[in-house]
Amino acid sequence: MSLPVTFDYDGHDATGLAALVASGTVTPDELLDEALARVEALNPSLNAVVLVQEDRAREAIRSGLPRGTFRGVPFLLKDLGAEAADFPSHSGSRLWRNQTWPADSAIVARLKAAGLVILGRTTAPEGGIGPATEAVVYGGPTRNPWDLGRTPGGSSGGAGAAVAAGIVPAAHGSDGGGSVRIPASNCGLFGLKPTRARLPDGPYAGEGWGGMAIDGYLTRSVRDTAALLDATEGADLGAPYWAPPLCKGYMAAIARPPARLRIGVCETTFTGRPVDPDCAEAVRDAARLLESLGHHVEPFRPDADHEGMIRAWVDIVACGTALWIRSAPKGRDPEGLVEPVSRGAMAHASSLSGEGYLAAIGRIHAYGRRMAAEFERIDVLLSPVMAEPPAEIGRFAHQSEDYLAYRLGEEGVWPYSPFCTAFNASGQPAASLPLHWTAGGLPVGVQLAARFGEDETLIALCREVEMARPWFHKRPPR
């Protein structure tokens, strides 16, 4: 069954679609029909949606959807984490192909309780290790709907491509070094990484990458992210640590603008290196907008050991990757199934001692304390999300076993994405806002980051910016 001709799927965010379901204007089955039709029409060029299970989605509707915030809205899980009993996963790797779980993870259970209709998963790089989504297990790269020769980013690249293309209005992602914010920037979307431990990791993990990884969402509106975070926030039973409690919640926070804030502006990297002119101009333009809204804006570059932080991050991620590989189902040979960069990460991890791993954790903690001290002078930091517009397909393919060069070399990930990891390391909330497009039509996001635990201040500011400079109707060409 097709949607009524008077219905505009693209004209509503997930919150708006849920309201139409609640009013009886459209049914969950009709929304699912439209999402599946778009997968069929758009996915051959994007390669963003995998492991589609229409039967599971139909059964969820027939069984009676919970009357949550998003009842009846089609939704996609990232093919990494988000363990679900009904939705097997490849985790971006041939090593983990079609892995199943006996029960839903806490975050998936909460997403289902919100009434979302999960229909499949979105592509991710192997183990979430890169800023592009080109895993061998999917048979080819995932492409950016704004320019099919460019990457949508990673590791939530499939989620970014699917939402930007209009397949679903919102999708699950995760962020251990920018993996929500990078696709948000590359795909012209909104993406917020919450404060460390704001969302549940269990029961299949205690923490990701030393506490630096956390789930999140790719959306076209701030209110969708706010409502999704409200539906899923809070530690799961037995979590090793908790985020500071919210005062009102995300949706309550966006009901009114925040108090006027001290906003620091950094248009270079945090180590002082220049970035692409479009990325710098995006920041300057956003600073002018924030100043016009009455905020106090001043130049600011956080004084912390950023180079030491990224080296520690690289060590921790290598160890996490090695553990992930060694935990694979029995009978599968990593040597023949994992990609070269992952093999390189495993080799690097083997060169580290237990003391070395704990030293890296200590450097990350020290960095967080230093960044907290720096944020005593400002409330929010404005910076680029990326040092360049979206990279061309193939630039960050996992073809080299030189893991350190891939991450830290002159042509590596760190020069391309030098901003996001800072806030995974410090645990602070940070968001990518789609405020700029290049002359060639490529999206370029700006990043706003707030103090640890100040998610409500951050999302209220993001909503104020969205209202002043709406982006919802900006769409890639079709």
Rounded to 5 degrees, φ, ψ at 5 are -65, -20
Q: Measure the CA–CA gap between 72 and 115, rounded to whole angstroms.
A: 6
DSSP strands (E only) in 249-366:
262-265, 296-299
Token reading at 271: 């180590």
DSSP 332-371: --HHHHS-HHHHHHHHHHHTS-HHHHHHHHHHHHHHHHHH
Active site annotation includes 351: no
Torsion from C-alpha of 190, 57, 110, 166, nearest 10 degrees: 10
**Are 443 and 188 spatial neighbours (Cβ–Cβ below 8 Å)?**
yes
3 state SS of 419: coil
Active site annotation includes 353: no
**Are 97 and 106 spatial neighbours (Cβ–Cβ below 8 Å)?**
no
Q: Which of these is catalytic: 89, 93, 179, 432?
A: 179
Q: Which of these is catalytic: 78, 193, 383, 432?
A: 78
Q: Residue 77: CB partners within 8 Å, gap ≥ 6?
A: 84, 87, 108, 111, 118, 120, 121, 122, 171, 172
- The one-letter amino acid code at 308 reads G
Q: Measure the CA–CA gap between 186 and 157, rounded to whole angstroms.
A: 9
Rounded to 5 degrees, φ, ψ at 237 are -60, 125
**Are 59 and 46 spatial neighbours (Cβ–Cβ below 8 Å)?**
no
3 state SS of 440: coil
Active site annotation includes 155: yes
3 state SS of 425: helix
Name which of 431, 430, 428, 422 is nearest 452 in CA terms.
Answer: 428
Q: Which of these is catalytic: 93, 155, 342, 383?
A: 155
DSSP 68-120: STTTT-EEEEESSS--BTTB-B-TTSGGGTTB--SS--HHHHHHHHTT-EEEE
Across the beta sheet with 74-78, the strand order is 49-50, 117-122, 74-78, 170-175, 214-219, 190-193, 430-437, 443-450, 380-384, 262-265, 296-299
Token reading at 422: 């800072």
Instruction: Enumerate the active-site residues.
Output: 78, 155, 179
